[in-house]
């Protein structure tokens, strides 16, 4: 009997982390090579590539594109080549001759079955609209039809025929002799990232944590001067010195004073973490939000923080973050002011963390300063700072103590 190797979803993330099988990169009957890309798994944050655990022939497929899978799930099996080395097989997968029940024994997947090469987003579009895939030239890998290919096809169809799914629906004449108007709309199916974000945010706000937000304001004059003086020095090392680097540094100082903020709530205890792994909310334009994690921020100076921030931000915007880059966060910082927001509340807590820090837009405002016992009006670069807490774990005392220390660090920054 031929020897088989199981293809398993890796245990790279916490047990139970949800994935969606996006694509099989090989079809049953095709040859595969040890460690070559075999399966794409999509999470709400990154695309995870599963390599082939052995060389041989892709024999069985148990999960199809669009199926939900978790670490440890059996995806399929590879029939070993006769020349495969036992040692490499033992390192990469489990050899077994036990027969498993296929998903569909009556209709096995064929190498020419193009439906198996469609992503979940494409499959949903095909289901929603009567699209003939044979009329679409795929722009993806190996000629696969992508979501954008479908949308482009529908747009072209809408421009040429009123029967297109995207064409304007018949309008209804409004009352009171309002001029006749027609309007069009387009449904863009949610991708996996958007669906996961929606679920996670709803669960955090409505079902898990009672949210409370405290608002302070900070004078950014000191860090503005420091940044202006030191930015050229950082640039000589190929680094961008951003305000976010200062905020991360100040957050570490505040967490060291109030370690309860850096925690996770359990029914019987509050788990306080020694490492300060700070997630940085990073917008991906219209694609959503991702939170890469700056690990062990308490061990980094301003230069080290700036360097790691740049690396994570570049990877996030290039879509090349690895699972390890988004794991293990204990506290999150949202610098929403970069897009113009003065105050955002509540910023929803990234469960299972206990708090999230929000930084508003830097704005020059007139404030009152006491100088030599006299009140003086001065123009200063100010920003609103918020801390949203899980009120099960934290109270106003810890919240305001954290913010007080954070503002002290920012406003007392030395040259």
For residue 108, what is the enclosing H or E element?
none
Q: 118-169+182-189 is classed in which CATH architecture? A: Irregular (4.10)
CA 203, 204, 210, 215: dihedral to nearest 10 degrees?
-140
Task: Look up the pTM and report it.
Answer: 0.61
d(CA 365, CA 219): 10
What are the start and end residues of each CATH 3.30.559.10 domain in the chain? 192-411
d(CA 91, CA 54): 9
What are the start and end residues of each CATH 2.40.50.100 domain in the chain? 4-116
Kindly report, residue by residue over 209-251, the tens digit of the pLDDT. Answer: 899 999 999 999 999 999 999 999 999 999 999 999 999 999 9
- Phi first, then psi, for residue 31 (nearest 5°) are -75, 145
pLDDT score for 98: 32
Tally DSSP H helices, then E strands, for the chain.
8, 20
The answer to whether 84 and 55 are in contact (CB under 8 A) is: yes
Residue 278: which of 350, 208, 197 has the closest Cα? 350
Kindly report, residue by residue over 54-84, the tens digit of the pLDDT. Answer: 999 999 999 988 888 888 899 999 998 765 4
The confidence band for 117, taking pLDDT boundaries of 50, 70 and 90, is: low
pLDDT score for 79: 92
Average pLDDT over residues 327-344: 93
Residues 6+ apart with CB under 8 A from 298: 252, 255, 256, 275, 276
Judged against a pLDDT cut of 90, whether residue 187 lies above it is answered with: no
What are the start and end residues of each CATH 4.10.320.10 domain in the chain? 118-169+182-189
The confidence band for 284, taking pLDDT boundaries of 50, 70 and 90, is: confident
| Fold for the domain defined by 4-116 | OB fold (Dihydrolipoamide Acetyltransferase, E2P) (2.40.50)
Residues 6+ apart with CB under 8 A from 241: 227, 230, 231, 234, 235, 302, 306
d(CA 142, CA 117): 9
Which class would CATH give 192-411? alpha beta
Which has more pLDDT, 164 or 369?
A: 369
Judged against a pLDDT cut of 70, whether residue 173 lies above it is answered with: no
Strands (E), 267-313: 270-272, 278-280, 282-283, 289-290, 293-294
Catalytic residues, by residue number, are: 391, 395
């Amino acid at each position: 009997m031929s020897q088989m190797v199981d293809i398993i979803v890796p245990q790279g993330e916490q047990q139970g982390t949800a994935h969606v099988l996006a694509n099989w990169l090989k079809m049953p009957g095709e040859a595969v090579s040890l460690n070559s890309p075999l399966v794409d798994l999509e999470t709400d944050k990154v695309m995870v590539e599963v390599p082939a655990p052995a060389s041989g022939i892709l024999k069985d497929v148990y999960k199809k594109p669009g199926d939900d899978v978790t670490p440890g799930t059996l995806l399929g099996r590879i029939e070993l080549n006769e020349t495969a080395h036992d040692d490499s097989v033992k390192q990469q997968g489990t050899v077994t001759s036990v027969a498993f029940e296929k998903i569909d024994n009556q209709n096995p997947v064929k190498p020419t079955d193009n439906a198996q090469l469609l992503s979940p987003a494409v499959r949903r579009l095909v289901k929603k609209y009567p699209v003939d895939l044979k009329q679409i030239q795929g722009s993806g890998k190996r000629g696969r039809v992508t979501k954008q290919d479908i949308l482009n096809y529908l747009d072209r169809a809408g421009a040429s025929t009123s029967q297109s799914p995207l064409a304007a629906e018949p309008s209804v004449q409004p009352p009171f002799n309002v001029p006749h108007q027609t309007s069009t709309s387009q449904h863009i199916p949610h991708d996996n990232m958007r669906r996961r974000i929606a679920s996670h945010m709803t669960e955090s706000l409505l079902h898990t944590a009672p949210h409370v937000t405290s608002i302070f304001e900070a004078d950014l004059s000191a860090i503005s001067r420091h940044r202006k003086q030191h930015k050229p020095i950082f640039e000589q090392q190929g680094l961008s010195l951003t305000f976010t680097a200062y905020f991360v540094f100040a957050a570490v100082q505040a967490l060291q004073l109030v370690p309860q903020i850096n925690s996770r709530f359990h029914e019987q205890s509050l788990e306080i973490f020694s490492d300060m792994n700070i997630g940085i909310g990073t917008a991906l334009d219209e694609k959503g939000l991702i939170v890469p994690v700056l690990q062990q921020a308490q061990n980094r100076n301003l230069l080290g923080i700036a360097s790691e921030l740049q690396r994570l931000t570049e990877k996030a915007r290039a879509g090349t973050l690895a699972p390890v880059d988004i794991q293990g966060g204990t506290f999150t910082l949202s610098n929403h002011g970069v897009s113009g927001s003065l105050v955002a509340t509540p910023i929803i807590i990234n469960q299972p963390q206990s708090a999230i820090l929000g930084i508003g837009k830097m704005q020059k405002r007139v404030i009152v300063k006491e100088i030599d016992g006299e009140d003086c009006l001065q123009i200063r670069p100010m920003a609103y700072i918020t801390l949203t807490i899980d009120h099960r774990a934290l109270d106003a005392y810890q919240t305001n103590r954290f913010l007080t220390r954070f503002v002290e660090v920012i406003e007392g920054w030395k040259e």
